[in-house]
Each structure stands twice: as structure tokens, then as C-alpha cells.
Amino acid sequence: MVRTQPGGGIAITIDPVTVAVLQNRLTAIVEEMGEAMLRTAYSQILNSSRDFSIALVDAQCRLVAQADHIPVHVGAMPWAARAVAEAFPHPARGDVFLLNDPYHGGSHLPDLTACVPVLVGDRTVFWSVVRAHQSDIGGATHGAYNPAAVEIWQEGLRVPPIRLTERGELREDLLAMLAANVRHPRDFRGDLAAMIGAARLGEQRVSTILGELGEPVLTGAVDAMLDAADRHARDIVASWPDGVFEGEALLDDDGHGATDIAIRARVTKRGSEVTVDLTGSDPQVRGFVNSSHANMQSAVAMAFAFLLDPDVARNEGAFRPLRVVARPGAVVWAEPPAPVTLCTSHCSNEIVEAVIVALSACCPERAMAGWGRRFRIAIEGAQPRTGRRFIWHLFQARPGGGASSCGDGWNAAGEWHSAGGIKFGSVEVTESRFPLLFERHEFRPGSAGEGQYRGGTGGDLVLRLETTEPSHANTAGDGARHGARGMCGGMDGAPHRYTMEVPGGGTRVLRTKETGIVMPPGTVLRVLSGGGGGWGDPASRDPEARATDAAEGLL
């Protein structure tokens, strides 16, 4: 078959073996980029918790290959590349572009994205893309989560698409300006160097293939890969019954008075196509639970990917059967200058929840129950002997994973948007580095949502501050009111319950969106994180499984 290419060239159909070989090579390239990033990054959120993602997109900014890191990043990265390509239609070899602005193709401010073009002559053929969550991005609070923000400028530094490196020449002035606006400039520079290094590695590797095989073979093979994933996804979707299905998910609140904020998905499944219409969702709110456009697209794509088979190649082809309808001004697609920092977790997870609840009536055996919601705490204080300032982020006490038709949920495996991709640090290392004592860190019995298959349990953490002067904390999260969603007759998981006991000062419950919490020395935090949702009617649970749970002390 002979056909015309967008670039004007002629391409022939590529033989299936070459397609398979190149798919393996492109996957190997993104994995190699991920490994380089992991080993060279400087801040703990990247080199330990791996909160970064890698993608290759083609000239039309179609996702070609991605390394499995953080699901909520993946569907969003082509939007970032698109914003760069629009802002800079004629990139040169050696250019590096950067962005984070949720109103210019980004998801939220902490996720900085580096894009490096892969050129043939002076034409862009691919983009090598690296996205990484920065440990700080300026703004009013440390660590980029500011529940008090009511406009985006209070959330941190906005970077619309910029050319940081021009034909291999780093623009030091621009970098100095960026670094001057964040709290840890040394980490920021180190992490940025790692991101650019990984993106350049991708550019080199893809250029090597282009040099060996030529552009028509590689782009022809990419077309074939995307088409294959499209066919694979459509095959699966076509096996579901047609219909129109509705789902709703509720956020606890926005921290500024709005409660039970609704995300509504009306999902039409016809033939091999799925249309997700979010226009029935609530209008945007004051607090930072609003979603950016790219993040909304990514959340819907993530829900769709979760419902397909895990061996579907996650490239643009797999998402072709999917159409998203929404209107700006809604909580799922906020208009500037609304704050959006929490959106990669909330309302991402609620978008996923609404889509999966809707489709649970269509393909119940594929619809997994809800995974836990995120509820973070960042404590800022002083080391007792040295007086050195420290900032500690809570990653322990992971909430439970959701159950499914295939079995119980994973205990303490995290949230829908990371799905077991975030690692928490060692208690021994944490105690050696911070004035904290983990009196207990175990599963939380009774937290799992009941069902034919139960959810995963949440965590139970008792943490004592061994400080000698007061510390300050912020929270950022959701799910203290609504637990992880039960599915197909299963029950919701227990919601989060975080309390703080001050010596001689009684105990109080922490809200999910607070700033400026004072924690005197000896304060004890009790973190009871939510369990995962159950799947199926609890009455159908195998009595033996229930007996095992009882013997295991998990009920």
C-alpha cells in the first residue's frame, strides 16, 4: 500500500516484524530514559517516590510510547507537547522547552515538563517528553499545595511554554529567574538537569533509529503501532453492550465552604466507541480542587485505560475510541485564574470514579471499586539538637486499593491516580533523619469496604513528634467525608480519620484542607487512612475468605 504522509513523503506499509521490533525499541528507550531520571534526580520525591513520567510523542503530538510511572501524568503529556509545538512552531536541534502552567497545556504547577524535539532536517518528527513533580514550586506554602489559595498566583510560579535552551545553549538568565522563585534552588537545578538529560537521551536514541532506518520506516511503523492499539481497544469496547450510562462522584469539599461537589459523567457506549460527557458536573469552585483541561483529559483517559486489558499498548491508538465532552467553567475544567493544585489527585480521582461508576452498569466485571483518596500532611519544624529546619511529607499509611471481580483489593496500595506507583520511605530511615517516632504503622482493621471481594485495608499510623519547639503543618487532600467507592453492590471503604493529640491540649480531628496547624513538641498524630471500596454483594462473599480475614485480624 502506498499513501501520502503528512510531511509530503511517500510511505509504504511496514512489514509486521519491523513494527514489532520498533515497538520494542521505543519501549526500551522510554524505560532507559526513566532509569536515567531515577538515578540522577536529586530530590526524594523523584528518586525515591518516582513521581515522574516519560513519553515519546510524534509530530502530531500523538502518544507513541510511555514508561509506566504515574498514570495521571500519561494522558496529559501530549497536551503539554501540543502547547509547546503551538508556541514554538519551528524548534531547532538542541532546543529544550519547559512548561507547567495548567492554563497552557500543563496539569498543575508542581509538574514541570521538559520537551526536546527530534528533528529530521528542520522538521520535528518526534518529541521526547519528561514530566517530574517538583518538591517545591514557590507560592505561599512550602511543597506546592496551598489549600488557602483562591487564585493560581497564590499556588506558585507559572511557566507557560518557554525555550530554556536554545540550540544547545542554556539560557542561564532564565534558569536563574526560575530558581529564584522556588524554595530549594539547588534541588530544583539538580532535578531539572536530570529531566533535561533524560529527555536528551530519548532524542539521541530516536535519532539513531531515524538514521538507521529513515523517517518513512519509523513513522510508518508508528502508524501501524497506533492502529494496532486502536484495533485492540475497539475489540474490547465492542464486546460491551451499547447504552447510555451515568455516574456521579462527590468531593468532600473545597476548603472554602462548598461541600459535596459533584462530578457527573454521562457515558455513551456505541459500537466500538465511548463518549464521556462531563457537562453535568458542578461549576468551578473557589478552592484548589478544580481541574485543568489537560488533567481532565488525562483522568478520563486513565479511567478508560483501567477498564481495558493491561496488555493494550498505551499509545494514542488505544484512546481513539474515546471522546471527551466538557465545558469550561466547570470543576472538571476550570477557567483562569482558579487554583488547581490538588487536581492531579482531586478531582482526578472523582472523574475516574464517575466514569467507572457509569460503566459499571455496562462492563461490571471490568469496573474495579474505588481506590483510596489522598490526604497529605507536610510538617515543617526544627531538628532538636542542630536547629536545622526540616520539612517532612507524609507518604506512609497508604489507603487501600479497590476490589474487583478478580479478587480483594491490595492493602495499603494507594490512590487511583498512582495505583501502587508511589513508594513510601523506610521508617528506620525516617526516624534517623527526622525527630519523629513511629509508635505504630500497620494495616487498619475494619477499614476495607465489604463486598463479594473486599477492598484493601487502609493504614493505622501513630506518630510522635520528638521536637523541642513547635512545628507547623499543612494538610491537602480529600476523603474524610466520602470513603473509596464500593462498586457493583460492594460497600464504600471507611473514610480517612486523622487526629492530633497535643500534650495537655486534648485531641482534635484534622480537616483535609488546613494551613498553619501548630504542633507543639510531643504532639501525637493518629492517621487512620481510608480502606478501598468493595466489589459485589457482601452476601456472596466466600465464608472461608471472611474467616481468613477474621483470623488475620483484618475485620
Partner 1 sequence: MTAWTIGIDVGGTYTDVVLAAPDGTVTVAKAATTRDQSDGVMEGLRLAAERVGRSVASLLAKTGRIVHGTTVATNALLERKTPLVGLLTTEGHRDVVDMREGLKPDRYNLRMPAPVPLVARRLRLPVRERMRGDGSIEVPLDIGSVERALDTLEAERVQAIAVCLLHAWRNPAHEAAVAEAARRRLPDAFVTTSSEVLPQIKEFERFSTTIANAMVGPIIHGYLERLQSRLRAAGFAGPLFVIMSHGGVASAAEASRLAVGTALSGPAGGVAAGLALSKTGLGAQLITFDMGGTSTDIALVRGGRASLSGGRFVGDARIALPMLDIVTLGAGGGSIARLDRSGLLQVGPESAGADPGPACYGLGGTRPTVTDANLCLGYLDASLGRQRRLDGAASERAIDRLAATLGLDRAATAAGIHRLVNARMADGVRVATVKRGVDPREHTLLSFGGAAGLHVCAVAAELGITCAIIPLHASVLSAWGMLNTDLRIELMRSQPQGGGIAAAPLRAAFAEMEAEGRERLHWFEGALEVHRSADMRYGEQVFEISVPLDACFDGDDDTTAAAIADAFHGRHQDLYTYALRDQEVVLVNARCSVTGKFRAAAAGRSIASAATQAERTRRVYLGTWIEVPVHSFEALGEDEIAGPCIIEALTTTALLRAGDRSRFDPRGWLEVAVGA
Judged by CB under 8 A, the chain residues 357 through 386 that form the site for partner 1 are 366, 368, 371
Which of 228, 285, 465, 510 binds partner 1 (CB under 8 A)? It is 228
CA nearest neighbour of 438 among 393, 408, 397 = 397
In sign, the C-alpha dihedral spanning 223, 356, 311, 236 is negative
User: Min. distance of Cβ 431 from partner 1 in angstroms?
Assistant: 4
Among 56, 192, 413, 510, binds partner 1 (CB under 8 A): 413
| Residue numbers 273-312 binding partner 1 by CB under 8 A | 305-306, 309-312
Question: Is residue 438 a contact point for partner 1 (CB under 8 A)?
Answer: yes
**Does residue 406 touch partner 1 according to CB under 8 A?**
yes
Residue 127: which of 109, 142, 114, 145 has the closest Cα? 114
502 sits near partner 1 (criterion: CB under 8 A)? no
Under 8 Å between Cβ of 382 and 388: yes
Written as nine digits, the cell of 189 is 537545578
φ/ψ region of 237 (left if φ > 0, alpha if ψ in -120 to 50, else beta) reads alpha
Q: From residue 393, how far is each of 179, 429, 475, 517 by CA, in Å?
A: 22, 14, 10, 14
Q: Is 518 in the site for partner 1 (CB under 8 A)?
A: no
Residues 462-491 that bind partner 1 (CB under 8 A): 462
Least gap, CB of 177 to partner 1 (angstroms): 23
CB within 8 Å of 20: residues ≥ 6 apart: none
**Contact status: 52 vs partner 1 (CB under 8 A):** no
Q: Show contacts with partner 1 in window 57-96 (CB under 8 A).
A: 68-69, 71
Give, as one character, the DSSP assignment of residue 144: G
Output 129 or 318, the one with its CB closest to partner 1: 318
Site residues for partner 1, 184-203, by CB under 8 A, read 187
Gap between the Cα atoms of 136 and 118, Å rounded: 30
- The residue range among 75-83, 108-116, 331-339, 456-464 that interacts with partner 1, by the rule CB under 8 A, is 456-464
Provide the CB-side half-sphere exposure for 278 (13 A, CA).
Answer: 33
328 binding partner 1? (CB under 8 A): no
Assign residue 217 a region: left if phi > 0, alpha if psi is -120 to 50, beta otherwise? alpha
Of 38-46, 112-120, 157-165, 503-511: span binding partner 1 (CB under 8 A): 38-46
> By CB under 8 A, which span of 329-337, 396-404, 482-490, 495-503 interacts with partner 1?
396-404
Of these, 25, 286, 472, 481, which contacts partner 1 (CB under 8 A)?
25
Distance of closest approach, residue 545 Cβ to partner 1, in angstroms: 12
Query: Cα–Cα distance between 52 and 113 in angstroms, integer?
Result: 10
- Cβ-proximal residues to 2 (8 Å cutoff; 6+ apart), any chain: 10, 11, 12
Q: H or E element: which one contains 248?
A: strand 243-253
Q: 358 with 265: CB under 8 angstroms?
A: yes
> Pick from 410, 483, 496, 528: which binds partner 1 (CB under 8 A)?
410
231 binds partner 1 (CB under 8 A): yes
Give the span between the Cα atoms of 479 and 374, in whole angstroms.
7
Q: Counting contacts by CB under 8 A, is residue 24 touching partner 1?
A: yes
Total of residues contacting partner 1 (CB under 8 A)? 85
Q: Looking at residues 519 to 538 of the shown chain, list those that interact with partner 1 (rule: CB under 8 A).
A: none
- Report the nearest approach of partner 1 to the CB of residue 29 (Å): 9
1 scored as a contact of partner 1 (CB under 8 A): no
Q: What's the min distance (Å) between Cβ of 52 and partner 1?
A: 13
Contact range with partner 1 by CB under 8 A, out of 151-159, 242-250, 251-259, 455-463 = 455-463
- Is residue 35 at the binding interface for partner 1, with CB under 8 A as the rule? yes
Q: If binding is defined by CB under 8 A, does position 417 make contact with partner 1?
A: no
Compare residues 301 and 480 and give the one whose CB is closer to partner 1. Answer: 301
Residue 183: count of CB within 10 angstroms of its CB: 17
**Quick one: which segment of 103-111, 143-151, 437-445, 521-529 binds partner 1 (CB under 8 A)?**
437-445
391 phi/psi in degrees, rounded to 5: -130, 125
Cα separation of 249 and 416, whole Å? 13
CB of 554 to partner 1, least distance (A): 7
Q: Which three cell numbers stand for residue 257?
A: 465552604
Question: Which residue in the set 426, 499, 507, 540 belongs to the binding site for partner 1 (CB under 8 A)?
Answer: 426
